[in-house]
Structure 1
Amino acid sequence: MCLKKSYLIFFLFFTFFACKKENKTSFSNITISTEKNDLVEVNIPKANGDENISKKINSTIKELIISALHIGNPDDVASKSIEESIDAFNKEYTDFVTDFPDTVPEWEAQIDGEVMFQSPEIISLAFTSYKFTGGAHGNLLISLLNFNAQTGNLIENSELFNDIESFKTLANTYFDKAIEDKNTLFEPTKFQLPENMGYGEEGVVLLYNTYEIAPYSTGLIEFVIPFEDAKPFLVFNSL
């Protein structure tokens, strides 16, 4: 009886890790365009592997791209696919040129994505979106998305840490080292975690987009907290 029980434990142990290995998500790079497209370039990673996991990840990516290409009120997004959004962006430009034929430079939009980090527990993706629709300069935005590698669910920033206030204290010390002149900030004496955080190869990446804490001239602000320092506060293993 004991021998049979040992075999059963071994079988369950082996099955658990075999299933976990089968759930590994891989990514392929894809380019999306349409026949009517002259202005938009989209190069993004596509999740492959377990259908439920990859479907959730790809759906979140799709929503991000659709939102990035939308012109106008963000609450009025009507596109159901990236292709629809690409055509809608081109049509917005065509309509604008019809109304203002002598004053409009050519619009453009480019979105590139990459896998920043991947472990059995967490997947971090980065998306760089540049959109120019006239004016003095275009709009550059970087978005970091974190996914539970076992479920495909999007991880909110607050769910990355077991003690976010302690992590914030740690991050503040690295922030101070990264900022040469705090007078360039909107609120020099007030530290806040950025909207975009994720895992990178060297540690936890913290990124502030343009206008988030400083004027456009300051540009992006980015720094990394090594895993060895951040580890006590991380919910997801970096190995």
Structure 2
Amino acid sequence: MLKSNSFLLFFCFILLFNCKKDIALTFDDQNISTETNTIVEVNIPKAIGNEAISEVINSEIERVVISHLQVGDPDKITSKSIEESITAFHTDFENFKSDFPEAAQLWEAQIDGEVMYQSPDVISVALTSYQNTGGAHGLLNISFLNFDASSGKVIPNTSLIRDLPAFKKVAQPYFDQAIKEKHVFDDTNDFVLPENIAYTDDGLVLLYNTYEIAPYSTGIIEFAIPYSDIKAYLVFDSAR
């Protein structure tokens, strides 16, 4: 009888452990601010569920948001949290007003995030940031983050695609069409992939930020390649 009870307890422990291990990962929307904040808006997804994986994903999202709120040299970031970055942004604005009291320009920053795609293999998140610190125009920047759904670690672009030369041959006609629609003249013989690539419901999206391959007036250039065209070159299965 004692052995039976011990076996039952052991079985329940294993079952409980596996249930905890397989907790589904979901995302909540969160707004981050401070008591004195008036010029920064941050709305980003927060991973919840599996604690270990969520922590890795949320830390990376936080790191990118902090970098987007940085004013000046990106190598001199000192903030350890988004709240600290918001406070630092305010401080930089107050210093600007002190140095240039005649300037009427108000600073602003807005960062919005969304989960673009989620499967058992990969999670793609987009962070869109707009920052205006008194220049001729604000700066819009979009960052795609691809996470390994089993670990939460960031997947570099080089690990998203196999046989890169073959993939580029398929992608180039989509790129050519995208720049044609934007009236951009580019040397397509030197086609390079963008910094931002992500999974979406419509296919693999490639996005070039402002200034990446064209002047500011061109804006962002992006296009989606249907999974049916590139399935053989994807490391992660696009079928959910």
What is the TM-score of this pair, normalised by structure 2? 0.88
**Contact 2:20–2:50, Cα closer than 8 Å, also in 1:** no
Q: How far apart in 2 are the matches of 1:217 and 1:229? A: 31
Q: How far apart in 2 are the matches of 1:50 and 1:68? A: 27
Q: How far apart in 1 are the matches of 2:187 and 2:91? A: 40
Residue 181 of structure 1: how far off its partner (Å): 6.2
Matched residue of 2:27: which SS? strand
Residue 162 of structure 1: how far off its partner (Å): 1.6
Structure-1 residue corresponding to 2:224: 224
**Contact 2:32–2:41, Cα closer than 8 Å, also in 1:** yes
Structure-2 residue corresponding to 1:159: 159
**Contact 1:23–1:150, Cα closer than 8 Å, also in 2:** no
Q: Summarize the Cα distance change of 1:170–1:73 in structure 2 as closer, same or farther, 3 Å threshold.
A: same
**Contact 1:146–1:155, Cα closer than 8 Å, also in 2:** yes
1:61-97: CA deviations, max 9, x gaps? 0000000001111110000000000000011001100
Map 1:109-148; keep pairs closer than 5 Å: 109-148=109-148
Q: How far apart in 2 are the matches of 1:29 and 1:19? A: 25
Q: How far apart in 2 are the matches of 1:215 and 1:20? A: 50
Structure-2 residue corresponding to 1:7: none
Structure-1 residue corresponding to 2:8: none
Map 1:63-212; keep pairs closer than 5 Å: 63-180=63-180, 184-185=184-185, 187=187, 189-212=189-212
Matched residue of 2:190: which SS? coil
Residue 186 of structure 1: how far off its partner (Å): 5.7
Structure-1 residue corresponding to 2:35: 35
Structure 2 runs not aligned, ≥5 long: 1-10
Q: How far apart in 1 are the matches of 2:68 and 2:24? A: 28
Q: How far apart in 2 are the matches of 1:76 and 1:148? A: 29
What is the TM-score of this pair, normalised by structure 1? 0.89
Aligned partner letter, 1:216: Y
Aligned partner letter, 2:229: D
Structure-1 residue corresponding to 2:7: none
Q: How far apart in 1 are the matches of 2:100 and 2:233? A: 54
**Contact 2:179–2:185, Cα closer than 8 Å, also in 1:** no
Q: How far apart in 2 are the matches of 1:41 and 1:34? A: 10
